């Protein structure tokens, strides 16, 4: 079995188990309060909502960051790379490329269908060369091709449903506390513990799912570009440049290690190790000519990152 197939199977198995675990916790919470029949109705409602309700409009998300659409004449090289990757991935719609006026290096994908958008910050565009930018865009395209936006939306809905059910159950326990103290009612301690800890457990599973989908998108990017070293190089640059703002404020020059279970993304070292396993020969030295940067045709943003009125940090 090749490393690519092995990693694909591992990623799929992890995602199925994590989604199943979140669903099992949500089912147990609803059943503990209202019974099995109510749980069926709740899950049917969640499925109907996911099928009929639109995702958060891309324009709304992008407006929070002050993003603006990149026209072909402003960044023809970047648009050409995006279109080529979208065709290679055979996704129905080619995403629109947006520019974020922020010196913080970041990229994200939002929307779906015709409103699908990939946003790149000024800091990201200034930091990466053409080869590395292609790897990052391939990573974002892979998220779209793998349906990760829908999967994470499903996880978010189940997480919210579990949290609401947990709070409702705890409120019912408080309201019925006099009956419980008088011995008029009985509640199993297992149900109480489930209601108290289910939101935390679901959140941890959601974070684990996010990390699994990042590994999958890394692998997809390597397959689209045939150059896993490009994405690995971009990840190294982002790790060294972005850092953690609060760490630099509180402990300059030091790094506070975040527990792996609380990360939305895997450790950069782990991601690079997996990319190296896919094609070790791709990590040999390459010509310096490929280090050319693709500079967009607009002024560089020099303002440092800060909190905005929208509540977003960029």
E-strand stretches of the chain: 68-69, 96-100, 107-110, 117-121
Q: Do the bridges between strand 107-110 and strand 96-100 make them parallel or antiparallel, or are there none, so unpaired?
A: unpaired
Give the closest residue to 80 by CA, choosing from 130, 37, 38: 130
* Residue of 37, 90, 140, 269 marked active site: 140
Regions of the chain where pLDDT drops below 70 = 1-8, 46-57, 179-189, 242-262, 282, 284-293, 295-314
Can you tell me the distance from the alpha carbon of 126 to that of 47, in angstroms, rounded to the nearest whole number?
42
CA dihedral 170→176→177→181, nearest 10 degrees, is -140
Assign residue 226 a region: left if phi > 0, alpha if psi is -120 to 50, beta otherwise? Answer: left
Can you tell me the distance from the alpha carbon of 4 to that of 21, in angstroms, rounded to the nearest whole number?
26
> CB of 128 within 8 A of CB of 241?
no
- The answer to whether the Cα torsion of 116, 203, 171, 49 is positive or negative is positive
Annotated catalytic, 214? no
Tell me what pLDDT residue 260 has.
58
User: How far, CA to CA in Å, does 116 sit from each of 2, 58, 89, 97, 217?
Assistant: 33, 7, 15, 9, 17
Tell me what pLDDT residue 228 has.
93
- Give domain limits for the chain: 3-291
Can you tell me the distance from the alpha carbon of 230 to that of 228, in angstroms, rounded to the nearest whole number?
5
Tell me what pLDDT residue 246 has.
38
User: How do residues 58-94 score in pLDDT, each as one tens digit?
Assistant: 777 788 888 889 988 889 999 999 999 999 999 988 9
User: How do residues 32-63 score in pLDDT, each as one tens digit?
Assistant: 777 777 777 777 776 666 655 545 567 777 88
- The answer to whether the Cα torsion of 54, 44, 148, 61 is positive or negative is positive
Tell me what pLDDT residue 249 has.
40
Give the closest residue to 272 by CA, choosing from 224, 209, 218, 220: 218
């Amino acid at each position: 079995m090749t490393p690519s197939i092995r990693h694909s199977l591992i990623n799929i198995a992890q995602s199925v188990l994590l989604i199943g675990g979140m669903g099992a916790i949500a089912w147990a919470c609803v059943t503990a309060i209202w019974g099995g029949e109510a749980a069926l109705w709740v899950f049917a409602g969640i499925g109907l909502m996911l099928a009929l309700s639109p995702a958060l409009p891309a324009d709304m998300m992008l407006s929070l960051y002050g993003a603006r659409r990149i026209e072909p004449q402003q960044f023809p090289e970047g648009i050409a790379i995006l279109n080529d990757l979208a065709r290679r991935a055979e996704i129905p719609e080619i995403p629109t490329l947006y520019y974020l006026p922020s010196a913080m290096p970041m990229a994200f994908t939002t929307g779906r269908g015709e409103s699908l958008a990939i946003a790149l910050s000024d800091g990201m565009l200034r930091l990466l060369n053409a080869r590395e930018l292609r790897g990052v865009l391939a990573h974002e395209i892979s998220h779209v091709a793998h349906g990760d936006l829908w999967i994470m939306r499903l996880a978010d809905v189940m997480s919210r449903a579990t949290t609401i059910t947990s709070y409702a159950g705890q409120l019912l326990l408080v309201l019925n506390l006099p009956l419980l103290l008088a011995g008029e009612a009985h509640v199993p301690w297992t149900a109480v513990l489930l209601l108290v800890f289910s939101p935390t457990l679901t959140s941890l599973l959601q974070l684990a799912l996010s990390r699994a989908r990042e590994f999958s998108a890394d692998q997809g990017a390597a397959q689209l570009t045939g150059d896993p070293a490009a994405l690995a190089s971009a990840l190294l640059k982002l790790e060294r440049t972005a850092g953690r703002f609060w760490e630099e404020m509180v402990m300059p020059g030091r790094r506070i290690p975040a527990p792996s279970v609380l990360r939305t993304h895997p450790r950069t070292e782990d991601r690079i190790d997996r990319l190296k396993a896919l094609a070790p020969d791709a990590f040999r030295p390459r010509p310096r000519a490929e280090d050319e940067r693709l500079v967009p045709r607009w002024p560089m943003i020099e303002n440092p990152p800060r909190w905005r009125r929208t509540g977003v940090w960029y």
